[in-house]
């Protein structure tokens, strides 16, 4: 409850920030609009009274004029309102979208490993600009509430009986709505897994990869059967609950319209009995018609706002994800060694430790190769080394400067990476390379040279220049897997850094191409400290040091020949691969 | 025009599937719509007879109310009308709910069936990608929405027409005014609707870019790079640009639509004033009764907002009508031609004769005049660089595509003429991008050969051969209660995240499940289309060992770019640029100067040094057995 109050507070604050003009205008227009609406039946009554008494003349003309004005007021105000509402929607989308984007950039990397984070993001994205909708719904509800009140005042002028019957009409409307909402919400919650299953199975028929397998292996029929079962189960349940609720809802609505009719009937008999004038009756008629419409809208809006609030909540909940924790020490380039001491690391939600007491050291200028089987913690190690992840126990220090104490940005300035899962940005080729060091982005000549070195002379020509958009999604040029990898390596080299980390991709690349790319890369980083995760022997052979990892620990360390001679893990890994080429 | 056609199509479809409920709904919607005019008329009568009644009272000074009968009659009539109107409307909505459900029940299976009857080429064609993405949702909802919108529009039109008729009967002048104002108002409304559609398409690019950037912002790999490269500025700048562009286009749309909207609403205001003046003049001049005056004012304000509503309804309708175009395109797609009827074959040799192939709608020949033969039981490997046409060979062999020229045969019969059942008995394929089905483990494995679905022994054996035996058994000591329960379920446990009790597997574990599919199948040939490509070299080498051992007696077709695996084949075909450039055994090919030798030397050079390493001379079979043990060991972790 407290949270709801807080979030609703945020919503109104943010709405004011995103579209201040609309925010104020809404209340002004709503106020005027409601006043006009309330005046319409009153003026009508007056007209009928005057005309009925046969008193024509100036007063009647004036009242008719006012009546016309009040009627016209609604549509004119609506024009303003709609125009600014559309603007506000756009502004809101930008404002709330930007806040989401800016915050996402601050989230801790570790949090991104958690699938829950992505889930939260998708929900927040779904709730993007729900604030605008919430704001509109709440205001519409308020406005309709005011109209209802106004209409009750109008009929109250003629007879208090009408106020009582009018208010009575509210009760069945509200109670049936609450009853049905509750039922349907609980039903939908119960049905969502069944629904998900149906959608999943159905999706299999339209996905080319699954269709290929289903046809080639011949289990289309089986999946069809499974889907039909699930669909039947889902519809049966739907029929028994939701449809049943809707059927009852028809009765609820009928009760509501009976109430409405009873109200008119009461007014009618008051008139027939001579208690109120004909004009008053006409006014009551108009008032009740407006009242009935407003009540329905009011109730609908209140419930819609409750639904929308859930989205608002999803949106603001996203902002509770932990952001990057920064140290405040400025990094001073290391002269001696990087010391890794008894480092432990566990991914949130994972059962075991990804790093389980890793200890090793890397001297300045050394070329280190890390080898090990899948899941031995190589990639995790590389991410801890760059300071992107922090050890949960133990420490990684650059000449005694521990990564967790450093302002990460100052360390990053000296490190460049080519990650295993490098990113294929749907940007221009120039941006894809230059992103690693934005300040040098303008130096196109150097970039062209670098690309020629990494990817060969013909590459730039083939793509069509640095300003060519990459990725088919935006009508740009699509690169092959090997070409993307070359771009990623150029990206890693574009940044002038004293430390380079390369995590070899295990993609389905052509071995020939891969070999060529890697050997060029190794050549180009001869003068820097480098850590390469690779299985390639010629890289191992030229390494100053090979770190062999197993189960999150270093099991061996040394040069290629020494390790082979030792007959341990390294020799085993090595032989497993080599035997196919003997 | 297209929109009208689509609407008619929707109505036709919906009447076809659910005739009775749709008809009931239509009646319930359209009949009360005519009440609107009637209500105006009744209101006029009430006011007039009430006034008359009051008048007579005043004149006669008598007790009782003469003339009250007609007043009561009209009053009761109005109440009945109101109740009947809203009840029917509600009942109509309920009928539409029923229609929606019946559509899901009757139409959805038809759609699914139709999907299974399509030519496979449609699924891969670039231009139909979006179509299939939409088809994977629930197209029947689109049909339903479009029909609903059409109904509402018709309903509004009837309401308008009936109100207008009454107005005309009260005063032709006021009626004429409505026609004069109404027509341009509607026209403006439709114009605005059409214009918004155009602009929405224009801003699609900006919106897609925003989506792409947001995706990057939650992609852990992208965030890793962004942090290390300090590239936040570029992201945010791009974000600003795209969202700015989006805002600009949206504002432009807003401005233009608003102009139209303002014009149409001002017309409405002008008209209101006109009616009030006319009616007042009529009232004061005595040509209109008070009842007619009140009724006219009441009706007119309703008509103004109806006109507006109907143009908004039109916008909706246009949107939902265009939305279903993809479904109509879907119905036009080609039906598959690979459902042959040949049930028996004299032998099982595979033949590719002068096969050329290009994907439909493309220009490039993927295969150029390829000819080769595979004898039953032979072990064959296809090697070649990425894009050499290896995977296309598999697709043609499976009959997924018709060759552009030449023929692909098994036992001398073109593969597309074989019955699906026979084709499955001939070939079992594990694709590179094998699929992980969020179903039970049993189903996932049995998809390799459905008749083994309830043959636990066979399924477990297949899993064992694939090194995934532990997936059907318990995992570790000291497991929690839930894990204990999943143990009892064994083969019937749910995989994937779809179900709450489902357990998601790692990439490597899924790989084993996919391999188990090949092991459970008893097809004549096992085709492996680089299923190990995403493994690291070490894990791959374990897989090879299993292949070598298990498929010793069966025909194997192996597709790979890692040459080590090709060595165990009896025959190696080297593909380059869509042609078979070399054929022969490993030894034969190594003796030739050619692509194979070059590729092999480069790849083996990765391990050259190993020759000198101690212990390397050990016999390979012994190592293989060890490797298999190690594979199972690793799987258990």
Using the beta-carbon criterion (under 8 Å), do A285 and B431 form an inter-chain contact?
Answer: no
Interatomic CA distance for residues B260 and B263, integer angstroms = 5
Interatomic CA distance for residues B407 and B418, integer angstroms = 13
Structure tokens at B122: 């449609």
Q: Please check the confidence at residue B627 and state whether its pLDDT lies above 50.
A: no
Would you tell me which residues 469-508 of chain B have a C-beta closer than 8 angstroms to some C-beta of chain A?
Answer: 498-500, 508
Residues of A in contact with B539 (CB under 8 A): 373-374
Interatomic CA distance for residues A361 and A545, integer angstroms = 10
Using the beta-carbon criterion (under 8 Å), do A508 and B561 form an inter-chain contact?
Answer: yes
Structure tokens at A463: 């793509």
Interatomic CA distance for residues B162 and B152, integer angstroms = 15
Give how far B450 is from chain A: nearest CA, Å. 7
Phi and psi torsions of A394, nearest 5°: 80, -175
Q: Please check the confidence at residue B533 and state whether its pLDDT lies above 70.
A: no
Query: Mean of the per-residue pLDDT values for chain B?
Result: 80
CA-nearest residue of chain A to B210? A97
Using the beta-carbon criterion (under 8 Å), do B564 and A581 form an inter-chain contact?
Answer: yes
Give the one of B262, B423, B437 whose C-beta lies nearest to A79's C-beta: B262
Task: Output the CA–CA distances (angstroms, integers) from residue B549 to B95, B461, B552, B629, in the order listed.
Answer: 63, 14, 6, 13
Residues of B in contact with A560 (CB under 8 A): 609
Q: Side by side, which strands form the sheet with B367-374?
A: B367-374, B350-357, B405-410, B413-414
Residue of B228, B451, B568 best to disrupt the A interface, most CBs of A under 10 A: B228
Using the beta-carbon criterion (under 8 Å), do A272 and B124 form an inter-chain contact?
Answer: no
Give the one of A86, A265, A507 whose C-beta lies nearest to B254's C-beta: A86
Interatomic CA distance for residues B382 and B388, integer angstroms = 10
Task: Output the CA–CA distances (angstroms, integers) from residue B10 to B3, B92, B146, B153, B542, in the order listed.
Answer: 10, 18, 7, 14, 56
pLDDT digits (tens, 9 = 90+) for B340-392: 888 888 999 999 999 999 988 778 888 999 999 999 888 899 988 777 788 88
Task: Output the CA–CA distances (angstroms, integers) from residue A352 to A249, A375, B399, B503, B600, in the order listed.
Answer: 53, 11, 46, 17, 40
Residues of A in contact with B47 (CB under 8 A): 48, 278, 282
Three-state DSSP string of B435-453:
CCCCCEHHHHHHCCCHHHC
pLDDT digit string (tens) for chain A, length 582 residues: 788 999 999 999 999 999 999 999 999 999 999 998 888 888 888 887 787 676 667 888 888 888 888 888 887 888 778 878 888 988 998 899 889 888 888 888 888 877 778 888 888 888 888 999 999 999 999 999 999 999 998 888 888 888 888 888 777 777 877 888 788 777 777 777 788 888 889 989 988 889 999 988 889 889 999 999 989 988 888 888 878 887 877 777 777 778 888 888 888 888 777 788 877 887 888 888 888 888 888 888 988 898 899 889 999 999 998 888 888 888 888 888 999 999 999 887 667 788 998 999 999 999 999 988 777 888 889 999 998 888 988 999 999 899 989 888 889 989 999 988 888 898 999 999 999 988 888 899 999 999 998 888 888 888 888 999 887 777 777 787 778 888 998 999 999 899 999 987 655 566 667 777 777 888 888 889 999 987 666 678 788 999 999 888 999 999 988 988 998 888 888 777 776 665
- Would you call A574 helix, strand, or coil by DSSP? helix
Residues of B in contact with A565 (CB under 8 A): 614
Structure tokens at B138: 């629930």
Q: Please check the confidence at residue B632 and state whether its pLDDT lies above 50.
A: no
Q: Please check the confidence at residue B402 and state whether its pLDDT lies above 50.
A: yes
Helices A160-203 and A244-272: crossing angle, nearest 10°? 160
Using the beta-carbon criterion (under 8 Å), do A112 and B223 form an inter-chain contact?
Answer: yes
Run of H or E residues at B316: helix B290-323
Give how far B162 is from chain A: nearest CA, Å. 19
Give the per-residue pLDDT at B13: 94
Q: Please check the confidence at residue B479 and state whether its pLDDT lies above 50.
A: no
Residues of B in contact with A271 (CB under 8 A): 50
CA-nearest residue of chain B to A84? B254
Using the beta-carbon criterion (under 8 Å), do B227 and A536 form an inter-chain contact?
Answer: no
CA-nearest residue of chain B to A436? B229
Phi and psi torsions of B557, nearest 5°: -120, 115
The sign of the torsion formed by the CA atoms of A465, A467, A471, A476 equals negative
Residues of B in contact with A52 (CB under 8 A): 51, 54, 290
Give the per-residue pLDDT at B185: 77
Report the percent of chain B where pLDDT is more than 90.
Answer: 18
Interatomic CA distance for residues B217 and B223, integer angstroms = 6
Give the one of A100, A239, A511 whose C-beta lies nearest to B603's C-beta: A511
Q: Please check the confidence at residue B612 and state whether its pLDDT lies above 70.
A: no
Helices A278-318 and A130-158: crossing angle, nearest 10°? 160
Give Cβ neighbours of residue B77 (< 8 Å, ≥ 6 apart).
B42
Q: List beta partners, residue B572.
A: B381, B584
Q: Please check the confidence at residue B620 and state whether its pLDDT lies above 50.
A: no
Using the beta-carbon criterion (under 8 Å), do A506 and B238 form an inter-chain contact?
Answer: no
Of residues A524, A531, A324, the one with CA closest to residue A415: A531
Q: List beta partners, residue B559.
A: B382, B529
CA-nearest residue of chain A to B416? A216
Using the beta-carbon criterion (under 8 Å), do B51 and A52 form an inter-chain contact?
Answer: yes
Q: Which of A121-135, B455-469, B476-490 has the highest mean pLDDT?
A: A121-135
Least confident of A366-370, B419-423, B542-546, B554-558: B542-546
Task: Output the CA–CA distances (angstroms, integers) from residue B253 to A86, A482, B246, B249, B312, in the order listed.
Answer: 10, 43, 11, 6, 16
* A489 C-beta neighbours (distance < 10 Å), count: 22
Would you tell me which residues 606-635 of chain B have a C-beta closer than 8 angstroms to some C-beta of chain A?
Answer: 606-611, 613-616, 620, 623, 627, 634
Task: Output the CA–CA distances (angstroms, integers) from residue A458 to A454, A461, A512, in the order listed.
Answer: 11, 5, 18
Would you tell me which residues 321-350 of chain B have a C-beta closer than 8 angstroms to some C-beta of chain A?
Answer: none
Structure tokens at B511: 């790989």
Give how far A559 is from chain B: nearest CA, Å. 14
Give the per-residue pLDDT at B195: 72
Give the mean pLDDT of B416-422.
91
Interatomic CA distance for residues B542 and B530, integer angstroms = 14
Cα B189 to chain centroid, rounded: 32
Using the beta-carbon criterion (under 8 Å), do B112 and A437 form an inter-chain contact?
Answer: no
CA-nearest residue of chain B to A501? B228
Q: Does residue B229 sit at the A interface (CB-CB below 8 Å)?
A: yes
Give the per-residue pLDDT at A581: 63
The two beta strands, B427-430 and B413-414, are unpaired
pLDDT digits (tens, 9 = 90+) for B126-143: 778 778 888 888 889 999
Give the per-residue pLDDT at A529: 92
Give the mean pLDDT of B227-248.
87
pLDDT digits (tens, 9 = 90+) for B275-286: 888 888 887 777
Query: Model-level pTM?
Result: 0.77
> ipTM score here?
0.80
Give how far A174 is from chain B: nearest CA, Å. 17
* B184 C-beta neighbours (distance < 10 Å), count: 12
Of residues A354, A389, A398, A345, the one with CA closest to residue A551: A354
Size of interface A-B (CB pairs under 8 A): 426
Give the per-residue pLDDT at A416: 93
Residues of A in contact with B48 (CB under 8 A): none
Q: Side by side, which strands form the sheet with A415-418?
A: A415-418, A499-503, A529-533, A367-372, A545-550, A553-558
Of residues A71, A261, A2, the one with CA closest to residue B75: A261
* DSSP per-residue string spanning A331-384: P---SSEEEEEEEEE--TT-SS-SEEEEEEEEETT-EEEEEE-TTSSHHHHHHH
Q: Please check the confidence at residue B27 and state whether its pLDDT lies above 90.
A: yes
Give how far A85 is from chain B: nearest CA, Å. 10
Task: Output the CA–CA distances (angstroms, integers) from residue A416 to A367, A499, B248, in the order listed.
Answer: 14, 6, 38
CA-nearest residue of chain A to B535? A506
Interatomic CA distance for residues B521 and B451, integer angstroms = 9
Using the beta-carbon criterion (under 8 Å), do B273 and A435 form an inter-chain contact?
Answer: no
Identify the residue whose tokens are 């890693």.
A492
Using the beta-carbon criterion (under 8 Å), do A535 and B536 form an inter-chain contact?
Answer: yes
Give the per-residue pLDDT at A415: 92
The sign of the torsion formed by the CA atoms of B395, B398, B404, B406 equals positive
Q: Please check the confidence at residue B154 and state whether its pLDDT lies above 70.
A: yes
Give the per-residue pLDDT at B621: 34
């Amino acid at each position: 409850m407290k949270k709801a109050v807080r979030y609703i507070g945020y919503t109104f604050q943010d709405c004011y920030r995103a579209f201040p003009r609309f925010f104020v205008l809404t209340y002004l227009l709503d106020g005027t609009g409601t006043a006009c609406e309330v005046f319409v039946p009153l003026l009508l009554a007056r007209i009928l009274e005057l005309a009925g008494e046969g008193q024509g003349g100036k007063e009647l003309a004036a009242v008719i004029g006012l009546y016309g004005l009040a009627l016209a007021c609604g549509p004119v105000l609506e024009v303003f309102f709609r125009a600014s509402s559309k603007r506000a929607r756009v502004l809101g989308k930008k404002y709330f979208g930007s806040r989401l984007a800016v915050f996402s950039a601050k989230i801790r990397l570790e949090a991104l490993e958690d699938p829950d984070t992505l889930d939260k993001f998708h929900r927040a994205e779904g709730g993007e600009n729900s604030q605008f909708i919430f704001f509109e719904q709440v205001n519409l509800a308020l406005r309709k509430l005011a109209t209802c009140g106004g209409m009750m005042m109008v009929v109250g002028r003629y007879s208090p009986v009408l106020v009582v019957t009018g208010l009575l009409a509210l009760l069945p409307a509200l109670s049936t709505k609450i009853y049905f909402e509750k039922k349907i919400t609980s039903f939908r919650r119960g049905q969502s897994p069944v629904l998900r299953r149906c959608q999943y199975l159905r999706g299999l028929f339209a996905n080319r990869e699954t269709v290929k397998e289903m046809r080639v292996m011949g289990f289309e029929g089986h999946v069809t059967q499974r889907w039909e079962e699930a669909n039947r189960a889902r519809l049966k349940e739907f029929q028994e609950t939701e449809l049943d609720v809707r059927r009852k809802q028809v009765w609820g609505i009928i009760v509501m319209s009976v109430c409405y009719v009873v109200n008119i009937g009461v007014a009618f008999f008051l008139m027939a009995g001579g208690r109120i004038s004909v004009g008053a009756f006409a006014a009551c008629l108009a008032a009740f018609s407006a009242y009935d419409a407003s009540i329905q809208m009011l109730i609908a809006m209140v419930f819609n706002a409750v639904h929308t609030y859930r989205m608002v909540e999803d949106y603001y909940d996203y902002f509770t994800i932990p952001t990057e924790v920064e140290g405040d020490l400025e990094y001073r380039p290391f002269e001696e060694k990087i010391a890794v001491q008894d480092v432990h690391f566990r991914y949130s939600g994972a059962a075991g430790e990804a790093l389980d007491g890793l200890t090793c050291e890397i001297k300045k200028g050394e070329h280190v190769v890390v080898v090990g089987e899948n899941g031995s913690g190589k990639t995790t190690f590389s991410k801890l080394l760059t300071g992107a992840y922090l050890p949960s126990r133990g420490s990684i220090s650059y000449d005694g400067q521990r990564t967790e104490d450093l302002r990460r940005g100052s360390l990053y300035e000296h490190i460049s990476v080519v990650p295993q899962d490098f990113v294929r940005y749907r940007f221009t080729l120039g941006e894809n390379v230059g992103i690693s060091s934005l300040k040098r982005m303008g130096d196109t000549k150097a970039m062209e040279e670098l690309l020629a070195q990494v990817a060969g002379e013909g590459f730039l020509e083939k793509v069509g220049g640095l300003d060519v958009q990459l990725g088919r999604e935006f009508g740009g040029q699509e690169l092959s897997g090997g070409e993307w990898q070359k771009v990623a390596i150029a990206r890693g080299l574009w940044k002038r850094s004293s430390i380079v980390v390369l995590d070899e991709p295990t993609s389905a690349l052509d071995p020939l191409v891969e070999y060529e790319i890697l050997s060029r890369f190794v050549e180009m980083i001869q003068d820097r400290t480098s850590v390469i995760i690779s299985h390639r022997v010629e890289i191992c052979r030229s390494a100053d040091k090979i770190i062999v990892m197993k189960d999150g620990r270093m099991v061996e360390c040394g040069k290629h020949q020494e390790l082979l001679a030792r007959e341990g893990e390294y020799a085993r890994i090595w032989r497993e691969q080599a035997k196919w080429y003997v | 025009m297209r929109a009208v056609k689509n609407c008619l199509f929707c109505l036709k479809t919906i009447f076809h599937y659910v005739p009775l409920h749709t008809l009931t709904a239509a009646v319930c919607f359209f009949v009360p719509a005519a009440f609107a005019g009637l209500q105006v008329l009744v209101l006029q009568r009430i006011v007039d007879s009430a006034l008359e009644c009051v008048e007579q009272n005043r004149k006669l000074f008598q007790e009782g109310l003469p003339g009250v009968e007609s007043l009561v009659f009209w009053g009761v009539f109005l109440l009945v009308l109101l109740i009947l109107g809203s009840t029917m409307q509600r009942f109509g909505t309920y009928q539409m709910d029923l229609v929606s459900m019946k559509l899901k029940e009757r139409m959805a299976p038809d759609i699914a069936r139709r999907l299974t009857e399509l030519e496979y080429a449609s699924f891969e064609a670039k231009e139909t990608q979006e179509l299939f993405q939409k088809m994977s949702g629930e197209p029947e909802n689109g049909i339903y929405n479009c029909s609903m919108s059409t109904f509402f529009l018709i309903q509004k039109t009837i309401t308008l027409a009936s109100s207008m008729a009454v107005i005309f009967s009260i005063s032709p002048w006021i009626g004429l005014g409505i026609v004069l104002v109404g027509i341009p108002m509607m026209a403006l409304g439709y114009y605005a609707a059409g214009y918004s559609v155009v602009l929405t398409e224009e801003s699609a690019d900006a919106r897609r870019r925003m989506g792409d950037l947001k995706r990057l912002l939650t992609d852990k790999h992208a965030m890793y790079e962004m942090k290390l490269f300090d590239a936040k500025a570029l992201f945010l700048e791009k974000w600003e640009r795209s969202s700015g562009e989006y805002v600009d286009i949206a504002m432009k749309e807003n401005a233009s639509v608003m102009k139209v909207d303002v014009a149409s609403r001002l017309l409405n205001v002008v008209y209101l004033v006109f009616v009030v003046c006319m009616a007042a003049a009529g009232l004061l001049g005595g040509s209109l009764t008070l009842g007619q005056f009140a009724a006219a004012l009441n009706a007119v304000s309703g008509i103004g907002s109806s006109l507006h509503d109907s143009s908004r309804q039109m916008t909706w309708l246009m949107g939902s009508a265009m939305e279903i175009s993809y479904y109509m395109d879907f119905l036009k797609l080609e039906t598959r031609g690979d459902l042959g009827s040949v049930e028996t074959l004299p032998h099982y040799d595979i033949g590719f004769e002068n096969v050329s192939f290009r994907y439909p709608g493309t220009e490039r020949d993927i295969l150029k005049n390829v000819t080769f033969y595979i004898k039953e039981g032979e072990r064959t490997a296809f090697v070649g660089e990425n894009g050499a046409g290896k995977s296309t060979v598999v697709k043609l062999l499976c009959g997924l595509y018709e060759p552009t020229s030449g023929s692909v045969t098994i036992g001398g019969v073109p593969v597309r003429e074989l019955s699906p059942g026979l084709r499955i008995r001939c070939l079992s394929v594990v694709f590179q991008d094998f699929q992980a089905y969020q179903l039970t483990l049993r189903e996932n494995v049995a998809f390799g050969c459905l008749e083994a679905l309830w043959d636990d022994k066979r399924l477990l054996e297949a899993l064992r051969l694939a090194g995934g035996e532990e997936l059907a058994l318990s995992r570790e000591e000291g497991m929690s209660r839930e894990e204990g329960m999943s143990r009892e379920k064994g083969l019937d446990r749910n995989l994937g995240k779809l179900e709450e009790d489902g357990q998601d597997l790692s990439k490597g574990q899924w790989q084993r499940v996919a391999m188990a599919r090949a092991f459970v199948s008893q097809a004549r040939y096992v085709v492996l289309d680089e299923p190990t490509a995403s493994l690291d070299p070490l894990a791959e080498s374990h897989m090879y060992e299993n292949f070598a051992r298990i498929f010793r007696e069966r025909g194997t077709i192996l597709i790979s770019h890692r040459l080590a695996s090709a060595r165990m084949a009896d025959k190696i075909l080297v593909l380059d640029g869509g042609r078979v450039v070399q054929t022969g055994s490993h030894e034969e090919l190594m003796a030739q100067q050619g692509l194979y030798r070059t590729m092999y030397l480069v790849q083996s050079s990765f391990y050259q040094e190993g020759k000198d390493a101690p212990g390397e001379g050990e016999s390979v079979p012994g190592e293989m057995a060890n490797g298999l043990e190690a594979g199972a060991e690793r799987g258990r972790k």
